[in-house]
Amino acid sequence: MALPATMKAVVFDKFGDSSVLRLADDIPVPKIAPNEILVKVHYASLNPLDYKLRLGKLGVVTRWSGFPRIAGRDFSGVVVQAGSKVTEFAVGDAVFGGIQGLGTSGTYAEYVKVPSSIVTRKPPSVSFADAATVGVAGLTAWQALVDVAKVDSSKKVLINGASSGVGTFAVQIAKKTLRCIR
């Protein structure tokens, strides 16, 4: 499949409220590195991190001045290109994930490039829309429980106020994966 030279993307050229967002139709399609995949985005989701980045509310971002910036962190879609060192994914694979780091590339675009190590296959039983909601919230919950708190089945966990995206993922991870909620 021949890729277009440019793509549509929701971008912002300065920090601000939602009025700074615009639809651009002349953004170059990203070029991938040997360890990256290019994904045709089917769905992208909105997180509190997305609007905080757009507002410039995060200190490190406020000092960063690279624009235009493509909005969005989470996505689902289909692999359309795989780098020469990528062995776990092939063109046509349905995947989902979240962008890491604070660069100029986001997921509110027709295509997104990501390291193959930060995406996973979309299960057939999960819709593209649902898969796109997992990235930031699911990873945050996992990091809090597993990487930071070192929770395992020998511990009990109380997740207070679990009504947010992170909270709902934390409950499911603690209950189903770590088996520490009884």
**pLDDT tens digits for the chain (182 residues)?**
689 999 999 999 998 999 999 999 999 999 999 999 999 999 999 888 888 888 888 766 556 667 888 989 899 999 999 999 999 999 999 999 988 765 657 899 999 999 999 899 999 999 999 999 988 888 888 888 888 988 888 888 888 878 888 888 888 888 877 777 65
Strand ordering across the sheet containing 6-12: 21-28, 6-12, 69-70
Single-letter code of the amino acid located at 160: N
Give the integer Cα–Cα distance in Å for 112 and 106.
7
H or E stretch at 94: strand 94-98
pTM: 0.85
**Alpha helices per DSSP H over the chain:** 48-55, 59-62, 128-131, 135-142, 165-172
